[in-house]
């Protein structure tokens, strides 16, 4: 059995109510410490993080474009929110949260607009090398986030406490690896959490729990009532808009990129296809709702989403159950959930790390172009050091530049002189901004005869730079008193030239021949007849 298969418990062809319910409960348990931790990162109350996870999960599960994908409070957005809240407090004491909620409303509007404008399709522009860097970076980020669970009171665990923590983490991982080999219908992650929790509670073992984790962060617990509707109380003026709009755009961009990338990953894992535009609208609606109901907001969560599909959650019901279970924990089950040992949840997340990381990266290093390897490493590193949005943008830009450079080098010109003394240039490859210099270097204007034909049958004029290159080339030949003819331009290329005033004198006289300096057309026809 291959390494990834050993840790894979995904049934790609089965969707069942039972699997959705059990996987939803497993996800709900894993959501609690994540939501609380990210709330602490953002500098807000844990309850706001839990409310945010509940509303994000419920709305995106019902209306989203990817059944089985889990959304909630995320670290990628939390690191932006902490600055927003801090600056909001500087504008007015106690106003940080109000500015956050107002920004979430605007974030939701931006994301919904992206969905209605069908911008989700542009995720297809992300190369596979960027995707591999994304999942590797996310796996490392998830792993590093779990290391903080090995602290108590700000200090690293040591001695007996450390061994107990490690023991329960390994026990959880062991159950998740071997239980599916016995019976794949049993939700391994949920069973692992229940078994480890039972040992800790019934055995009176002293180890970190959800309650102690919250208390270490300065919280008191997760018990609270239902979220209530409130309009953010902030000044309504251009100054406020100029403050929150940049944050809203950043949050919207990060949220959509992470959500759409997670959607693509789950598409590959489940061999199904989600709807990116629908997901954009659902993400926006969820963040909009959070802004009015006092939640933290968020986006898709790759870790919890993989837990869900690996536990058999393939339908929308799994996300709905996870969200409702999380709300039930807040309203009624806080006492019991706070007793769950952190080690069990860490073990589940470590299994997510193993399942998320693209181990095939090590196999393909010597088989793919060096540029792809560089992009994978770059995106992985930037995801860990900065955030997903910066990493993906950088990866796409580098990939695009590499593609442009490689295509720029493909421009070729075959030269020949026919029996009439007319020189022919047969162009191969795309003519665009990157290949203009090489294109110009192919011509010998001063040495060429009076008649020159440039044949684009195997080429394509792509952009304005290409048109300008042809214009300048025509001017050079005209200064030398020579005639240049363009042949076999495609229809779209012809339209580009015809729309450009004062660039090329092109007259479509006889398809597929197009001529510059058309006064010499008769002479050309006579010479070639």
Q: Quick one: what percent of the chain has pLDDT higher than 70? A: 89
CATH class of residue range 412-528? alpha beta
User: What is the reported pLDDT for 497?
Assistant: 58
The tens digit of pLDDT for each residue in 315-350 reads 899 999 999 999 999 999 888 888 989 999 888 888
**What separation in angstroms does the CA of 515 have from each of 447, 456, 473, 486?**
21, 12, 13, 5
User: What is the reported pLDDT for 107?
Assistant: 96
User: What is the reported pLDDT for 493?
Assistant: 63
User: What is the reported pLDDT for 122?
Assistant: 80
Domain with CATH 3.30.750.24 in the chain: 412-528
User: What is the reported pLDDT for 424?
Assistant: 92
Q: Quick one: what percent of the chain has pLDDT higher than 90? A: 36
Between helix 188-203 and helix 17-42 the angle, nearest 10°, is: 60
The tens digit of pLDDT for each residue in 475-515 reads 888 888 888 888 877 666 665 555 444 434 443 334 444 44
The tens digit of pLDDT for each residue in 219-229 reads 677 888 899 99
Contacts by 203-209 with C-beta closer than 8 Å and gap 24+? 205/164, 205/341, 206/161, 206/164, 207/161, 207/164, 207/165, 207/168, 207/341, 207/342, 207/343, 208/149, 208/152, 208/165, 208/341, 208/342, 208/343, 209/338, 209/339, 209/340, 209/341, 209/342
Highest average pLDDT, of 52-66, 132-146, 170-184, 254-268, comes from 52-66
Which residues, at least 6 apart from 201, have a Cβ–Cβ distance to it below 8 Å?
Answer: 339
- Name the more confident of 200 and 314: 200
Which of 91-100, 164-173, 191-200 shows the lowest per-residue confidence on average (mean pLDDT)? 91-100
User: What is the reported pLDDT for 334?
Assistant: 86
* Residue 3 predicted with pLDDT over 70: no
Mean pLDDT of the chain: 84
User: What is the reported pLDDT for 517?
Assistant: 39
Which of 34-43, 187-196, 265-274, 338-347 shows the lowest per-residue confidence on average (mean pLDDT)? 34-43
Taking 3-state DSSP, the helix, strand and coil percentages for the chain, each rounded to the nearest 5, stand at 65, 10, 25
The tens digit of pLDDT for each residue in 229-255 reads 999 989 889 999 999 999 999 899 889
The tens digit of pLDDT for each residue in 385-404 reads 877 778 888 998 999 899 88
Q: Do 415 and 423 meet the contact criterion of CB atoms below 8 Å apart?
A: yes
């Amino acid at each position: 059995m291959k390494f990834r298969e050993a840790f894979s418990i995904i049934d790609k062809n089965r969707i069942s109510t039972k699997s959705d319910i059990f996987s939803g409960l497993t996800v709900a348990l894993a959501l609690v410490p994540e939501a609380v931790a990210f709330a602490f990162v953002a500098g807000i109350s844990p309850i706001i993080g839990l409310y945010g996870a509940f509303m994000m999960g419920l709305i995106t599960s019902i209306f989203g474009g990817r059944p089985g994908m889990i959304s909630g409070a995320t670290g990628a957005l939390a690191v932006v929110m902490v600055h927003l809240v801090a600056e909001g407090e500087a504008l007015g004491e106690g106003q940080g949260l109000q500015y956050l909620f107002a920004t979430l409303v605007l974030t939701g509007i931006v994301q919904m607009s992206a969905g209605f404008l069908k911008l989700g399709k542009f995720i297809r522009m992300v190369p596979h090398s960027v995707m591999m860097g994304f999942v590797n970076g996310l796996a490392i980020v998830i792993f590093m986030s779990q290391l903080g669970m090995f602290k108590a009171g700000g200090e690293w665990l040591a001695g007996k406490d450390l061994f107990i923590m490690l023991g329960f983490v390994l026990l959880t991982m062991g159950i998740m690896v071997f239980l599916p080999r016995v019976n794949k219908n049993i939700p391994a992650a949920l069973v692992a959490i229940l078994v480890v929790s039972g040992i800790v509670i019934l055995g009176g073992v002293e180890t970190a729990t959800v309650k102690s984790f919250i208390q270490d962060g300065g919280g008191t617990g997760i018990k609270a009532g239902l979220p209530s509707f409130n309009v953010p109380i902030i000044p309504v003026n251009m100054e406020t808009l100029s403050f929150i709009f940049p944050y809203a755009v950043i949050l919207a961009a990060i949220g959509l990129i992470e959500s759409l990338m997670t959607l693509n990953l789950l598409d590959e894992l489940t061999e199904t296809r989600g709807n990116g535009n629908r997901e954009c609208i659902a993400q926006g609606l969820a963040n909009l709702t959070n802004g009015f109901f006092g939640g933290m907001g968020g986006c898709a969560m790759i870790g919890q989403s993989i837990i869900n599909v690996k536990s058999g959650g393939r339908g929308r019901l799994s996300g709905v159950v996870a969200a409702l279970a999380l709300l039930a924990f807040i309203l009624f089950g806080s006492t019991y959930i706070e007793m769950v040992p952190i080690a069990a949840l860490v073990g589940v997340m470590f299994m997510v790390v193993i399942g998320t990381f693209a181990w095939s990266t090590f196999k393909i290093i010597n088989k793919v172009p060096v540029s792809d390897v560089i992009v994978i490493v770059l995106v992985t590193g930037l995801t860990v050091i900065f955030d997903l949005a910066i990493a993906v943008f950088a990866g796409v830009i580098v990939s695009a530049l590499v593609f442009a450079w490689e295509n720029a080098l493909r421009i070729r010109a075959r030269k020949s002189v026919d029996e009439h003394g007319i020189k022919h240039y047969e162009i191969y490859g795309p003519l665009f901004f990157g290949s203009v210099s090489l294109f110009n270097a192919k011509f010998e204007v001063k040495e060429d005869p009076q008649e020159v034909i440039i044949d684009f049958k195997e080429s394509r004029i792509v952009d304005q730079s290409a048109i300008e290159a042809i214009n300048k080339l025509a001017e050079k030949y005209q200064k030398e008193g020579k005639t240049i003819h363009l042949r076999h331009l495609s229809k779209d290329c012809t339209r580009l030239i015809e729309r450009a005033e004062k660039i090329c004198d092109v007259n479509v006289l006889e398809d597929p021949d197009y001529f510059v300096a058309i006064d010499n057309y008769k002479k050309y026809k006579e010479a070639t007849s």
